[in-house]
Amino acid sequence: MPDKEEELPEHPSALRRPADGVPDMPPGKPQSVAADIGALLGGLRMTLGQALQPVVTTMYPEDKTPRSERYRGRHYLRRYDNGLERCIGCELCAAACPVGCILVIAAENTEENRVSPGERYAKTYEINMLRCIFCGYCEDACPVQAITLGPEYELSDTSREKFIYTKERLLEPLPPDVQARLDAKERK
């Protein structure tokens, strides 16, 4: 049986075995105690210099870091200017959702009860926020731009039931800046 130790490459970066001892210092500047102490003092000066610089911490929750315009936070269902719901209950969002967190149950619009301009509307629209991965595919899939992902990301709550966002919660008005941006996009 060949000695496996011998077969290892003699490369300087090869793993050191316990018996090898400490390797020599790499060639370069000659060592001196003064240089070593100088290096230590240099390190101390560096950290003290950092202490005099301003603090970089963002004081969350008082201050928050800026988010992208297209940040994908909690969902909103939108309405038209005349108050009708955009959602037509087509369930394309539920089909596009990779984790299956959207539940849509559609119902027919009637003359007495017109909820959306189309034939049908979403009688039930629920999103399970614990499952949602905030990929935004629902927004892409929607043919009438009814669903959109808003900027809120602080979604913590006290029970699992509270994470199932019902239609009432999703229909809350969008933050004004997001509303303005979406309106501007549609006018183009």
Partner 1 sequence: MSIYNDPIGHWVVVIVAMVLLLFVVLTATAYTVWFERVGLGRLQRRPGPNRVGPFGLMQLAADGIKLAFKESFIPEKTDKLIYVLAPCIGVAAAFLAWAVIPIGLWYDVQYWIADVNIGILLVFAVSALNVYAIVLGGYSSNNKYSLLGGLRSSAQLISYEMSLGLSLVPTFLIVGSLRLRDIVEYTVSWGPYHGPIPLVILTPIGFIIYLVSATAETNRTPFDLPEAEQELIGGFLTEYSGLKFTMYYLAEYLNVITVSALATLLFFGGWYLWIVPPVLAFLLKVIAFLFLYIWLRATFPRLRYDMLMRLGWKVLLPLAIANVIVTAIVVVAVQG
Residues forming contacts to partner 1 in the complex (CB under 8 A) are 22, 40, 43-44, 46-48, 50-51, 53-57, 59
Counting Cβ atoms within 10 Å, is residue 73 exposed (0-12), middle (13-18) or buried (19+)?
Answer: middle
Shortest CB 18 distance to partner 1, Å:
11
Distance CA 109, CA 129 (A): 28
What is the distance of C-alpha 60 from the center of its chain? 17
Give whichever of 35 and 44 is closer to partner 1, judged by the CB atom: 44
3-state helix/strand/coil string of 10-38? CCCCCCCCHHHCCCCCCCCCCCCHHHHHH
Give whichever of 4 and 17 is closer to partner 1, judged by the CB atom: 17
User: 62: number of CA atoms within 13 Å, CB side?
Assistant: 3
Tell which residue, 114, 112, 93, has the closest CA to residue 104: 93
Counting Cβ atoms within 10 Å, is residue 60 exposed (0-12), middle (13-18) or buried (19+)?
Answer: exposed
Give whichever of 9 and 23 is closer to partner 1, judged by the CB atom: 23
Give whichever of 50 and 113 is closer to partner 1, judged by the CB atom: 50
Give whichever of 1 and 59 is closer to partner 1, judged by the CB atom: 59
Shortest CB 43 distance to partner 1, Å:
5
